[in-house]
Amino acid sequence: MTTTNEVKVQKVLVVDDEKSISELITTSLRFVGFEVRTAA
Q: Could you give the CA distance from residue 15 to residue 39 in angstroms, rounded to a whole number?
A: 5
Helices (H), ranges, 1-40: 19-31
Least Cα distance to 38 among 21, 26, 20 occurs for: 26
pLDDT of residue 22: 97
pLDDT of residue 5: 76
pLDDT of residue 3: 65
pLDDT digit string, tens, across residues 1-33: 566 778 889 999 999 999 999 999 999 999 999
Phi, psi of 4 (to 5 degrees): -130, 145
Cβ-contact 39, 21 below 8 angstroms: no
Tell me: pLDDT of 39 over 70: yes
pLDDT of residue 6: 80
pLDDT of residue 7: 81
